[in-house]
Amino acid sequence: MKRDKMLKMIVILAAIVVIAGSISKLLHRDSLTLMDYADLHPTPQPGESLTADPSNSEDPESGASEGWVPAPSGESEGPEGQTPQPTGGPSHVFSGDNGSQASLPSEEGSSSLPSKDTDPSQEQPVGAVLNGSSMEDQRVSLTEDFYYEPLSNKLKRYVTGISYPDTSSEKDSPEPEISLDELRYVHILHIDYEGNSVPGELICNEYIAEDLVEIFYELYRNEYRLQSVLLIDEYEGDDNASMEANNTSCFNYRPLTNSASLSMHAYGLAVDINPLYNPYVAFKKDGSQEILPASAQPYADRKESFPYKIDEDDLCYKLFTQHGFIWGGNWNNVKDYQHFQKSKP
């Protein structure tokens, strides 16, 4: 009799174990191995859309842009109907020289970077062509399209006399306060105003190169719109021409506006983002304002709501300040809403 009872208890316990195991599997059915995750989340193939679900986008009129604004149809309309037009998850690992690696901080909920459209008609910008693969052994990469590296001799020759001073023909010219060897070429992807994924590039100080790769990677993942990201040399080193074209840029060996002192851009430590919609505004003693670029007047009043506006709720502001940059929109005597800079220690 006792043996029968013991057998029944063993059978009951075994059944309980089986049932508990089944329940546990049901409760943890969302737990996946990395292989399972890769199978369920394949990398998008070339040509697949990078556009975010419009239902998840923020209304730019609400003032909460968070980096996503719907692409304007046709021209961008400013306040009061004025329409100035541009004239022109897992940690990520950087692979450095000799196989050295530096981990990027992981971000909860981050997703893999979408592949860009590899349409052969899509041209690489001039810096990418001039550098080519010549500096690949010194390249520091986040992904295939997000990386930084030294300037090749070809790229150095291209920028010399434009964004970088050429002192070879002038006898007593002072040497530039930064050498070309202290600069880095940065290659990125970005989403333009038409919603296309396009390559972009900057030249910057080595000190902020990794910051810029990380920041522009996150802007790209969030489909933050940048009209163009081209070297200032494509505008003959003319800052006003680059701003009028709403071009995002970094290095340019030039003085501060209305000053003989060198700008932080001259050291490759400052970046201007979507400058047409985020102008430089100086307040004069007579109460008037100097607005640069000149066509950006509709966007000088930051109480207005419009697309591509940088403020403290904007993703661009959050990313740059998290990386230790100062925003020109917080200055007192002037407001430089496009401008982010970071000083070396």
Q: Please, which residues bridge with residue 141 across strands?
A: 95, 147
Please compute the mean of the pLDDT values over residues 3-19 and round it to a whole number.
Answer: 64
Tell me the average pLDDT across 173-180.
92
Lowest mean pLDDT among 121-125, 166-170, 325-329: 121-125
Q: In the prediction, which pLDDT does 3 show?
A: 63
| Higher-pLDDT residue of 24, 161 | 161
pLDDT at 97: 38
55: buried, middle or exposed (CB in 10 Å: 19+, 13-18, 0-12)? exposed
Q: What is the mean pLDDT of the segment spanning 152-167?
A: 96
Average pLDDT, the chain: 76
What confidence score (pLDDT) does residue 90 get? 31
pLDDT exceeds cutoff 90 at 145: yes
Encoded tokens for 27: 């409760």
Lowest-confidence region among 100-104, 128-132, 204-208, 253-257? 100-104
Looking from the CA of 161 toward its CB, the CA atoms found within 13 Å total: 6
pLDDT given for residue 170 in this prediction: 74
User: Using one digit for the tens of pLDDT, what is the confidence trace for 28-80?
Assistant: 333 333 233 334 334 333 333 333 333 333 332 233 333 333 333 333 344 44
Positive/negative CA dihedral, 9, 10, 14, 20? positive
The pLDDT value recorded for residue 241 is 97
Residue 96 is predicted with a pLDDT of 40
- pLDDT value at position 60? 27
pLDDT value at residue 92? 37
Return the pLDDT at 93.
39
Query: Is the per-residue pLDDT at 288 higher than 50?
Result: yes
With 70 as the cut, is the pLDDT of residue 311 above it? yes
pLDDT tens-digit map of 79-123: 444 445 565 533 333 444 333 333 333 333 334 444 444 344 468
Q: Count the neighbouring beta carbons within 10 Å of the beta carbon of residue 265.
A: 24
Is the predicted pLDDT of residue 174 greater than 80, yes or no?
Answer: yes
Q: Looking at residue 59, what is its pLDDT?
A: 33
**Residue keyed to tokens 């390249």:** 139
Is pLDDT larger for residue 27 or for residue 324? 324
In the chain, domain spans: 83-268
Average pLDDT over residues 274-297: 93
Bridge-based pairing state of the strands 247-248 and 228-229: parallel
Give pLDDT tens digits for 227-247.
999 999 999 999 999 999 999
- The confidence score (pLDDT) of residue 123 equals 83
Q: What is the pTM of this model?
A: 0.69
Distances (CA, A) of 30 to 20, 35, 158: 17, 14, 53
Q: How confident is the model at residue 75, as a pLDDT?
A: 37
What integer pLDDT is reported at residue 181 of this predicted model?
Answer: 98
Q: Say what percent of the chain tops pLDDT 70.
A: 65
pLDDT at 66: 33
Lowest mean pLDDT among 55-69, 142-156, 245-259, 282-296: 55-69
Contact 37, 43 (CB under 8 A): no
Of the pLDDT bands very low, low, confident and very high (cuts 50, 70, 90), residue 319 is: very high
Q: Which residues contact 36 (CB under 8 A, 6 or more apart)?
A: none
